[in-house]
Amino acid sequence: MLMALALLAAGACSPSDDTAGDATTSTSEATTEATTEAAVDPADARPWLDPTLDTEARVELLLSEMTLEEKFGQMTLVELGSIDVDDIAPLGIGGLLSGGDGVPSQYDPSAPNEPAAWRAMVAEFQAEAASSRLGIPLLYGIDAVHGHGLAEGAVVFPHNIGLGAAADPDLVRRIAVATADEMRATGIRWNFAPTLAVVQDTRWGRTYESYGQDPDLTARLGAAFVEGLQSETAGGTVLATAKHFVGDGGVEFGTSLVPGYLLDQGDTRVSEDELRRVHLPPFVSAIDEGARVVMASFSRVDGQFAHGSRALLTDLLKVELGFDGFVVSDWAGVDQLTADYAQAVSAAISAGVDMNMVPSRYAEYLDALADGVELGRIDESRVDDATQRILRVKFEAGLFDRPVVDGAGAFGTDEHRALGREAVARSATLLTNRDVLPLDPSTTVAIAGPGADDPGMQAGGWTQSWQGRRGHLVGATSIIDGITEVTGQQPVHLVEPDDWNEIGTIAVGIVVVGEDPYAEGVGDVDRPVLSEADREVISRMRSIADSVVVVVLAGRPLVMNDVLDSADAVIMAWLPGTEGGGLADVVFGVSPFTATLPVAWPASVDQLPIGPESPNDVVRFPIGHGVTTE
């Protein structure tokens, strides 16, 4: 089926010969109707397809043709592993998504993780949508939050926290352009990024999804991402999603409702003034820059779930900020509102959620919508408004004019790798340097530590899977490979106990330590400290090397005063992604260190959380710290 439908990739959304051909062999009611439609001139039957009409006119023409059930369908976003492909047309499903583990094999076990297979899969879904009564194209969304991390061979860029350290909107814009390109190569036009959380407590597992503690920097970088991602190219527009609305960066430690989580999906207990001053500005900028989708936050604001808050989603976002795109819920976020699912659906839709990332129980959701309207819990005008918003964004993104992208889009190219490498060098933050860096490329170097040869650790969560994993990544350069490339000589890699015994003494030892990959609340921690095992490798290196350079791969600052005091240089590399060469570039002076901390670095775990206003003398390093070698 995948193969056959790839043929449709070139087709438009109007009823095509292929669709009619399919329909004649189908017994389903919806497709029979599509056949009938195909007999008449599509321009007459579907006047909204006329691209010369303005968007609002097209939306109205289409909306006036829709049944209530078709509107419900548009308000539905289903996850790849849960969709029955035969439901797409009859239910008029509005969108599908890849969750954190949503690679093509989740849908078709034999599908490889290759751009062509992604493209064929999305084209197949789009063809199903085209065969529905009205042929409304669907949106396919994915979390390409640091490059197209789920797609094998994609260039994975530094996570946002590293880009916050680089603090360069133009760099972020270029990364977003490259990300959009790689997405288009896989046929995907909707990105659940950027995250605009302004992190306040770095014990939060999503710290690395944030550009940092400063609302203004977050606003500038977030807007640059939106601009780059949505820039027009021959391949069509990719949509950004500003998330998570609003206040997720302010969740208070210990308030999560998810067992095992500490902060994520917790409560942001701030005054309205603080919410507006700290957490709202990035959304204002992103919307100004043209963000057309906003994702609601799992978190609560002062005890009130964002997903059920009319004050936040409607009064603030839609009315006050004038946002006329659509609000998507987060993954089953609606379900959390009350134990009674039907009531939760009514509450969320009435509050202002337009499209529900169900993600799996869509039959139940569609029933709940129908009941909600029938019982008067959901106003029909709210359903029209939600549908209008979704259609508006689909028209604007060119989805009706070109529902399937043709694969034009560079993927894993040298150019993108060079950009990734530049971003790695620009984000590497030099915390201390006792006259050791940059190293002369002819220096004899030994290297050790869990991150020395581990692209998976460099990339962190949202890479190949939701939680990410240690190990090899297709097309990636590990730090050791980067060093070999830059210096022309392979550093001695100390792995086994014998390696250490045999080496004697050495001029410089590099130790790469840090955190294992994680995502979301799984990464919430009580005590963000450098592990005992990592400290041991560092002290072992100290015993054989004249100088020790420590490189930290982590999504947040780790308390490590002893290491900061004793190492000759410490580099916070954040989660740099696949291009380890960028790290070698700064270590060996090919590029200067220019980055500065986007979050304060704690002197002890007891002082967390340290807000941007914490006095500089209590923290180990204040926000803005970074040794530059320019």
Q: Which residues bind ligand BGC (CB under 6 A)?
A: 99-101, 143, 192, 243, 298, 330-331, 466, 520
- Compare residues 243 and 421 and give the one whose CB is closer to ligand BGC: 243
- Catalytic residue, from 70, 143, 520, 579: name it: 520
Cβ atoms within 10 Å, residue 540: 18
Q: What is the rounded distance in angstroms from the CA atom of residue 25 to the CA atom of residue 1?
A: 14
Name the token pair of 497: 């106990």
Residue with the two structure tokens 């392979």: 490
What are the start-end ranges of the H helices in 78-159? 88-91, 115-130
User: Whole-number minimum distance, CB 243 to ligand BGC, in Å?
Assistant: 6
Q: Judged by CB, which is closer to ligand BGC: 328, or 494? A: 328
Least separation, in Å, of the C-beta of 249 and ligand BGC? 13
Minimum gap (Å) between residue 340 Cβ and ligand BGC = 21
Closer CB to ligand BGC, 96 or 446, in the complex? 96
What's 562-608 look like in SS3?
HHHHHCCEEEEEECCCCECHHHHHHHCCCCCCCCCCCCCECCCHHHC
- Specify whether 216 is catalytic: no
158 or 451: CB nearest ligand BGC? 158
Chain-centroid distance, C-alpha 6: 27
The pair of structure tokens assigned to 538 is 């560092």
Closest CB 97 distance from ligand BGC, rounded Å = 6
Q: Would you say 243 or 417 has its CB closer to ligand BGC?
A: 243
SS3 content of the chain, % helix, strand, coil (to 5): 40, 15, 45
- Closest approach of ligand BGC to the CB of residue 123, in Å: 22
CA 102 to mean position of chain CA atoms: 13
Query: Which pair of tokens denotes residue 7?
Result: 């043929």
CB closer to ligand BGC out of 289 and 520: 520
Pairing of the two strands 300-301 and 304-305: antiparallel
Gap between the Cα atoms of 348 and 332, Å rounded: 11
Packing angle between helix 29-39 and helix 17-24, nearest 10 degrees? 140
Nearer to ligand BGC, 298 or 574 (CB): 298
**What is the C-alpha separation between 353 and 330, in angstroms, rounded?**
10
520 a catalytic residue: yes
- What DSSP letter does each residue of 451-496 carry, written as one string? TTT-HHHHH-SSSSSSS--SS--TT-B-HHHHHHHHHSSPPEE--S
Instruction: Give the whole-angstrom CA distance, residue 78 versus residue 241.
Output: 17
Q: Which is nearer to ligand BGC, 298 or 362 (CB)?
A: 298
Taking each helix axis from N to C end, the angle separating 115-130 and 17-24, rounded to the nearest 10 degrees, works out to: 70
The least distance separating ligand BGC from the CB of residue 268, rounded to whole angstroms, comes to 15
- Decide: 602 and 609 in contact? Cβ < 8 Å: no
Which of 201, 214, 248, 330 is flagged as catalytic? 330
Our CB check for ligand BGC shows the closer of 19 and 467 to be: 467
Q: How far is the CB of 83 from ligand BGC (least distance, A)?
A: 14
| Least spacing, CB of residue 295 vs ligand BGC, in Å | 6
Q: How far is the CB of 518 from ligand BGC (least distance, A)?
A: 12
Residue 599 identity (one-letter amino acid)? V
State the Cα angle at 574 between 571 and 575, rounded to 5°: 135
* 209 vs 252 by CB, closer to ligand BGC: 209
- The closest of 141, 150, 223, 258 to 188, measured between CA atoms, is 141
What angle, 0 to 180 degrees and rounded to 10, lies between the N-to-C axes of helices 215-229 and 169-185? 40
Amino acid identity of 265? Answer: Q
Cβ–Cβ < 8 Å for 295, 243: yes
**Residue 234 CB, nearest distance to ligand BGC (Å)?**
27
Q: Which residues are known catalytic residues?
A: 330, 520
